[in-house]
Amino acid sequence: MDYNRVFVSKVRRLIVVFALFSVFLGFRTTAFAQADSVAAQGHEVSAPVAHAEEHGKEEKGFDITSFIFHHISDSHFFTIWGHGDHGLTLHLPIILWTDNGLVTFSSSAFQFDDAGKVVAEKNGQRFVIAHNKIYYANAAADAHGSYVSHVTDEKGEEKITNARPLDFSVTKNVFSMLISIVVLVIIFTAVAAGYRKRAGKSPKGVQSFFEPIILFVRDDIARPNLGHKYAAFMPYLLTVFFFIWFNNMLGLVPFFPGGANVTGNIALTAVLAVITYLITTFKGNKHYWKHIFWMPGVPVPIKIFLIPLELMGTLTKPIALAIRLFANITAGHILVMSLLCLIFIFNSYAVAPASIFFAVFIGLIEFLVAFIQAFIFTILSALFIGLAVEEHH
């Protein structure tokens, strides 16, 4: 049997499954996790042309923190170049479940003017974007031009108190994930067709490029950690490797359809880690669970003491998977943006050559990191699954 062809065919199906996870994830997972309130810095309003956010900021100078986090955060639109009437913006669909039912419209319905009005009206309801999240808008703007109300907590931080509809919008991250899924399905369809047509012959075209990577995942990740059981988990390992790698690379493209910080989103990395955890949990054999709940050769009092620690250990593994990928990708983006921001911080063209040189240098390193992080996530997933399915010696 040509296992490579079988693996590639299964990968195509798993990518479609990942599409469902991506849509579920991107349709505003944070709408449930942060349904009550979201911390806000002052009375700022985030938007493609967030004029309200600029009131008073020109006097304070360049705000590097807001600039960086605005570029690495998710949003409801793609700014392809420029802004306003002098740029090109791709507006994405807004899908909300409100008190009056389902409401859909384009993010272009949010009109941004010099007064900071960012209200969209639909089906007799008014909505406002603040910090890239959608709230029900107040009847009138306050003195700062904001349509949301704020309250100061005991830590001195302001929080938005407006209610939020359930947000299932296609955001920038969702759009990028769907693009990556379509491209991966096309690629693996072509690779599978190559295996089918050229069985036993040397690969050509797309197949010749991806076959060494597929063999790398099989021979250097799956087999060493899973032994003779590797074939059962190869489709998942190939899927998660290429899904992470491709989205890492797409996030390094500074223009459309790239620019989205997909793998720098903790929600996405958490979903991928949970999938690995579920496979480990449900595929774990009796010897794996015996060593967690009643370790052989250990005194009973120590067994009782170690059981909660071992159970906690099964949870820390997926947490480490999620945080490692999220932190490394996000840190790389922040570093590149920080280097570019030196030009504006010093407000001097003399800094530009050094700033751009180091930003490009770190950007090139990020291409290597994109592959390394996909490799690390995949090999750790294989290791955790291998420990769960390992036969008793």
pLDDT by residue (tens digit) across 41-58? 333 333 333 433 443 344
Length of the chain as a residue count: 393
Lowest mean pLDDT among 10-14, 15-19, 189-193, 375-379: 15-19
Q: Residue 297's pLDDT is what?
A: 78
- Give the residue among 250, 251, 184 at the shortest CA–CA distance from 213: 184
Q: How far apart are CA 170 and CA 69, in angstroms?
A: 20
Calculate what percentage of the chain has a pLDDT beyond 90: 23
Region 167-177 average pLDDT: 89
Region 326-339 average pLDDT: 89
pLDDT by residue (tens digit) across 333-387? 888 888 888 888 888 888 888 888 988 888 889 989 999 999 999 999 999 999 8
Calculate what percentage of the chain has a pLDDT beyond 70: 78
pLDDT by residue (tens digit) across 204-223? 888 888 989 999 999 999 99
For the CA atoms of 218, 222, 227, 229, the dihedral, rounded to the nearest 10 degrees, stands at -90
Cβ burial, residue 91 (10 Å; 0-12/13-18/19+): middle
Can you give the pTM of this predicted structure? 0.79
Cβ proximity of 385 and 233 under 8 Å: yes
Q: How far apart are CA 176 and CA 262, in angstroms?
A: 7
Q: Residue 72's pLDDT is what?
A: 81
Q: What angle do CA 180, 181, 183 make, to 5 degrees?
A: 65
